Amino acid sequence: MLVLKLKRIGKKHQASFRLVVDEKRHKLLGKNLEDLGWYNPRNKKHEFNKERILHWIKNGAQASDTVHNLLISAGIIQGKKIAVHKKAKAESDSAKKSAESGLRPPEATSSVEGGETAKPATGATERNQES
């Protein structure tokens, strides 16, 4: 599958990127099919070849999430931006998943007959109660 992706170039701590067309699983340091432009995140400048980008997209190439967002910002394609960074999981998500799997929260499973709650037993308290 062909993908429009960013190839990192530049010195250490001075990253700049080339927009290239290549196979999805190819390494970025090798040859690529075509160079479509460049992007410098330090000063937010870019230059993209609009005709060739649209040509590749028309012929089935997919844009990576970051490239998709850059192309929307540049006005080359239309649509919504894609959330690129992972969001932290909320506690409500974990509670929702446990409800779906049929598990009860830990507070509900630690009850004993007669409505009393069981206390965690430690070795020292058991020995004192037995003697």
Chain position carrying tokens 């009393």: 116
Interatomic CA distance for residues 99 and 112, integer angstroms: 22
In the predicted model, what is the mean pLDDT of residues 2-16?
93
* More reliable by pLDDT, 88 or 68: 68
Superfamily (CATH) of domain 2-74: Ribosomal protein S16 (3.30.1320.10)
- Per-residue confidence (pLDDT) for residue 84, from 0 to 100: 86
Backbone φ and ψ for 4, nearest 5 degrees, come out as -85, 120
Interatomic CA distance for residues 90 and 80, integer angstroms: 24
Name the least confident of 20-29, 60-69, 119-128: 119-128
The half-sphere exposure of 16 on its side-chain side, counting CA atoms within 13 A, is 13
Q: Say if CB 34 and CB 56 are below 8 A apart.
A: yes
